[in-house]
Amino acid sequence: MMLRTCRALCSQAGPSTGGWQALNFDGGAFHLKGTGELTRALLVLRLCAWPPLVTHGLALQAWSQRLLGSRLSGALLRASVYGQFVAGETAEEVRGCVRQLQALGLRPLLAVPTEEEPDSAVKTGEAWYEGNLSAMLRCVDLSRGLLETPGPTGNILMQLKVTALTSTRLCKELTTWIRRPGASLELSPERLAEAMDSGQDLQVSCLNAEQNRHLQASLGRLHRVVQHARAQHVRLLVDAEYTFLNPALSLLVDALAVRWNSPGEGGPWVWNTYQAYLQDTHERLRLAAEAADRAGLAFGVKLVRGAYLDKERATARHQGTEDPTQPDYEATNRSYSRCLELMLTHVSHRGPMCHLMVASHNEESVRQATKRMWELGIPLDGPVCFGQLLGMCDHVSLALGQAGYAVYKSIPYGSLEEVIPYLIRRAQENRSVLHGARREQKLLSQELRRRLLGRGLRVPH
C-alpha cells in the first residue's frame, strides 16, 4: 500500500525543466515514508548519537547475546540498527529493500561489508581474499539484476573495497615504495595493467617472493572483478581508506583505468574516491583529472569528506609526522567545495567521459552541486549523481530524488554476524556524522509530532 502511494507521489515529481530552484531539505519529503520507518529512524539515530554505545558497541553486542540469547538479541538488532542501516541478508531481502528505495526515486549502491583483521591468520590468507572475490562477483550480479530496466542514463554502480582483495600489509609496503623517488617506473600503472591483462608474472624488486606472489594474485582478482563488472555494465567505485594505503590503492585504480576506462569502452568503469579532509586532495584531483584528459581516458570520481579523521591524526601524532588532514571542519568544507567546483567544471568540459558522485550528507555541498550543475548546463540525471548512506539523511536523499537527480544509497548487506562489527566500526569512524545527525532527528520528530497530532497531509513540494 505504502509503495503504491509512493509511486503515485513520485510520478508527480519529474525533473525540473525551468530555472534552478534551491532544494528544500526541511523534511517535506518524509511524507513518502511510513510512520513506523520514521519512528525507527528517530530512535536509532538518537541511540547512535550516544557515544558510549558507539565506543563499546562490540562489547555490548556480546553482552546482550549472553544475557538475552542470540535469537532475542538478533531480533532486537534486526528491528533497530541492522534494520535501519542494512538491506538484509539474502538476495531477496536486498531486492525488497531496493524496490522500496526505487519507489522513492532512489537507486542502490551495493557494498559488500568486509573487515580485514591484520592480526588474524584466517582473515589475511589467500583463501579469505578468494572468498571476498566470490562475494564481489555475486554483488556485481546482484547489482545488475536489481535494475529491471536500466535506462540509457541509469548507471549501475557498486562500491569496491580493494583491501578486501589484497592485504593492507602489501598496500602499506607499496605505499612506502611509491613515496620514494625513482620508484615510479617499476611501479607504473601501465606495467601493472599489462601484468593484469596478460596474467604474466610480475616481479617488483622492492617486494620479496611471497609479496610478489600476493601482488600477482591480487591483480588477478581485481582484473576478474572489473572484467565481470564491465560485462554486466556495473561501474565500480573504489573506496578510499587511510593515507598509509591510499597511494597503493590509487596505483591499482590507475592500472585498472588504463585498461577499462580507455576510449571506446563507454566508461568510466573504475572510479577512485577523493577525501577532501586531506590537505593535498585538491592538487591530486586536479593532476589526476588533467592526466586522464590528456590520455583520453574516462574519469570517475566519488568525492567524500573522509571517514578516518581521528585515526589519521592519531597515527601522525604517534609517528611524529605532519598531520595530513585539514586543520578544522571549516577547512574541510572549503576543500570539498573547491574539489566539487573542479570536478563539475571537468564534467561540463568532458561530458560523459567524466563522472562524479557527490557523496555527502552535507546540505550546503549538495546545494552547491545542484546550483553549479544548473549554471554549467549539466543535466540532472547525467554524469553527476549523489550518494548517501542507507538510513542516513533521507530528508536530503528524498528531496534530491523527488527533484529528478540521480541519488544512490550506499547499502551494506549480509548476515548479522558479518555486518554488525562492520557497522560498529563505521559508526566509530563516523562519530561526527552521527553526532551531526541532530537536524535529521529534529525533522523526524517534527514529522512524527505532526502525524500524531493529526495535522493533515503536507503538501508535497
Ligand X SMILES: Cc1cc2nc3c(=O)[nH]c(=O)nc-3n(C[C@H](O)[C@H](O)[C@H](O)COP(=O)(O)OP(=O)(O)OC[C@H]3O[C@@H](n4cnc5c(N)ncnc54)[C@H](O)[C@@H]3O)c2cc1C
Whole-angstrom Cα distance, residue 317 to residue 328?
16
In the chain, count H helices and then E strands: 20, 8
Task: Tell me phi and psi for residue 271, to 5 degrees.
Answer: -110, 150
Task: Tell me phi and psi for residue 177, to 5 degrees.
Answer: -70, -40
Taking the least distance from each CB to ligand X, the nearer of 207 and 240 is 240
Taking the least distance from each CB to ligand X, the nearer of 165 and 309 is 309
For the CB of residue 279, give the shortest distance to ligand X in the complex, in Å: 10
Whole-angstrom Cα distance, residue 339 to residue 281?
8
For the CB of residue 366, give the shortest distance to ligand X in the complex, in Å: 9
C-alpha cell at 425: 566500526
> Distances from the Cα of 165 to the Cαs of 5, 11, 208, 217, 394, in angstroms?
42, 41, 19, 9, 32
Taking the least distance from each CB to ligand X, the nearer of 218 and 410 is 410
For the CB of residue 369, give the shortest distance to ligand X in the complex, in Å: 11
Taking the least distance from each CB to ligand X, the nearer of 207 and 358 is 358
For the CB of residue 431, give the shortest distance to ligand X in the complex, in Å: 9
For the CB of residue 434, give the shortest distance to ligand X in the complex, in Å: 9
Taking the least distance from each CB to ligand X, the nearer of 240 and 373 is 240
Taking the least distance from each CB to ligand X, the nearer of 240 and 427 is 240
Taking the least distance from each CB to ligand X, the nearer of 218 and 332 is 332
Taking the least distance from each CB to ligand X, the nearer of 102 and 325 is 325
Task: Tell me phi and psi for residue 233, to 5 degrees.
Answer: 60, 40
For the CB of residue 365, give the shortest distance to ligand X in the complex, in Å: 6
For the CB of residue 400, give the shortest distance to ligand X in the complex, in Å: 12
Q: Which residues contact 67 (CB under 8 A, 6 or more apart)?
A: 73
- Secondary structure letter of residue 424 according to DSSP: H
Determine the straight-line distance between the first and last CA of the chain, rounded to whole angstroms: 21
Whole-angstrom Cα distance, residue 41 to residue 49?
12
For the CB of residue 282, give the shortest distance to ligand X in the complex, in Å: 14
* Residues engaged in binding ligand X (CB under 6 A): 239-240, 273, 275, 277, 302, 304-309, 325-326, 328-329, 332, 359-362, 365, 387-389, 410, 430, 432-433, 436
Taking the least distance from each CB to ligand X, the nearer of 187 and 301 is 301
Q: Which of 426, 210, 438 is nearest to 218 (CA)?
A: 210
| SS3 assignment, position 58 | helix
Q: Which of 206, 232, 222 is nearest to 165 (CA)?
A: 222
| SS3 assignment, position 157 | strand
Q: Which residues contact 435 (CB under 8 A, 6 or more apart)?
A: 49
For the CB of residue 81, give the shortest distance to ligand X in the complex, in Å: 18
For the CB of residue 404, give the shortest distance to ligand X in the complex, in Å: 19
* DSSP state letters, 65-104: HHHH-HHHHHHHHHHTHHHHH---SSHHHHHHHHHHHHHT
Sign, Cα dihedral of 234, 105, 405, 357:
negative
* DSSP state letters, 268-294: --EEEEEETTBTTHHHHHHHHHHHHHH
Taking the least distance from each CB to ligand X, the nearer of 175 and 410 is 410
